[in-house]
Structures are given as C-alpha cells and as structure tokens.
Amino acid sequence: MTDRTPERVMPDVKRRNERLVALLIFGVLALNYPLLSLFSKVRLFFGIPILYLYIFTVWSLFIACMALVLEKRAFPSMTASPPKSGKSE
C-alpha cells in the first residue's frame, strides 16, 4: 500500500505539471514553422498530402500523450480508509 499523505501527493502533482509543460513545449516545437516547412511538399501518401498527415498525426499523438499524463490519479480516493496504527485500543 502506498503512503498518500499530503506530503507525498504534492510531488506527484508537481511531476504531472512538469510533464504537461514538457508536452506543451514539444507540441509547440512540433507544429512550428521549421518542421512544418519540411513536410510542405507536393507529395501524397495514400492520397493524403504529407503536410496534412503530419499535422493530424502530431495532433493525435499530442492528445494521446496528454490523456496518459492526466489519467494518472493525483489525489487519493476520499473513500479510502485511513491506515491502521499498530496499537489496539
């Protein structure tokens, strides 16, 4: 059983926020001009322009990674019973 005291929860929240910021930076860089210009060619892949395929692939990966980061629970369940101490009353 993991210790989910407030002191342990805060590092989890901080780590999740850091991952979201890193994901945002990756998304901005991946959809910025220099990389978009690499795919701005008149070529088709299964009838889809390469630029459109790149944009929608990066966008989909961005959403999937964001879901993975946010899916992890940051706070303990409110219904969980408190840990029992070693003493008996």
Residue 80 lies in a domain: no
Residue 61 lies in a domain: yes
Residue 28 lies in a domain: yes
Range of the domain at 58: 6-71
Tell me 74's DSSP state.
Answer: -
CA dist., res. 26 & res. 46, Å (int): 27
CA dist., res. 68 & res. 23, Å (int): 11
Residue 1 lies in a domain: no
Residue 39 lies in a domain: yes
Residue 85 lies in a domain: no
CA dist., res. 13 & res. 7, Å (int): 11
Q: Is 89 helix (H, G, I), strand (E, B) or coil?
A: coil
pLDDT tens sequence for the chain (89 residues): 556 666 666 788 899 999 999 999 999 999 999 999 999 989 999 999 999 999 999 999 999 999 999 987 655 555 555 566 666 55
For position 87, what pLDDT does the model report? 62
Please tell me the total count of domains within the chain: 1
Residue 82 lies in a domain: no
In order of 50, 57, 77, 87, the CA distances from 82 in angstroms are 55, 45, 11, 14
Residue 50 lies in a domain: yes
